[in-house]
Amino acid sequence: MKKLALLSLLSSGIISSQSFAGMVDLASAERYTIAVGSTNAAFGTLGLGSAVDIWGNVAATNNLTIGAGAIIRGDACSKYVNADASVTITGDKNVVGQCSNINELGADIATASQQAANLADQYVFGDIESTKSVTISGHQAYKVGNLHLQTGEYFTVMGNSNDFAVFNISGLASIGSGAGILLKGGILAKNVIFNFLDNAGMTNFIFGGAIINGTFLSNTRSFQLGDGATLNNTRFLTNASIQANVQTVKFGGTTTVPEPSTLLLILIVLSFLLFRTNRKHQ
């Protein structure tokens, strides 16, 4: 019934499939996989656990703490970076080089979240509290109450690489272990935004060992990212705080680089196959 209702609204012109193309601009926040901005000294903090391996840039306006042995395959931007010698950072650090725009981060996240919230002609989707799916066609925005998935429950967003969806979430936001958000059909994580709206009674987005895909955005809510989550096409941007006890986090067109031991094994196998081919030809 919901799909039929949406198709009816689209055909009648009440909702335009192109109504908000280009209307959500992340600006300086676009370059980060995990980022916390703020103009308030009480917020703008990011804590990354010792097991993290972030494929991309991270940022925190006020304070970035990185656990021992963590790997940041990009920039680690913050006014204050707390990381010991065992942490690997392949890009710039603190507020120099590519990190020099850190002061713009808070305002840019706030603006993007407000742009998403203000999108016109939003379809009322209701709560996402059980397994559901939605097919995106063009550019569509949805009003969501609670996003609350428990073990075995999945929300699937289907569409192609040209489609764009915003889900404005006003209520509870939590995803349990063994649940998740999936993207299918080629729709891009950068084009699927879950925007958590200002709500004095709902201050957190929390998940455990879940499968999470998409862009997660908020001006005021803190994110608590749990251990054991699968985050292969995901980014997190907020103006409150993030505590990330996660492992590998990737976003966008990152390519997995084999570990040295894997490369050595591949070379050995190729050498053996080449040796056998040469012997057959002799």
How confident is the model over 192-206, as pLDDT tens digits? 999 999 887 778 999
Q: Tens digits of per-residue pLDDT, 52-111?
A: 999 999 999 999 999 999 999 999 999 999 998 999 999 999 999 999 999 999 999 999
Rounded to whole angstroms, the maximal C-alpha distance in the chain is 78
Nearest-CA neighbor of 37 among 89, 77, 88, 74?
77
Q: Is 238 exposed, middle or buried (0-12, 13-18, 19+ CB in 10 A)?
A: buried
Question: Which residues, given as ranges, of the chain have pLDDT below 50?
Answer: 1-19, 253-264, 269
With contact defined as beta carbons under 8 Å apart, do 55 and 75 qualify? no
Mean pLDDT of the chain: 86
State the Cα–Cα distance between residues 112 and 97, nearest whole angstrom. Answer: 24
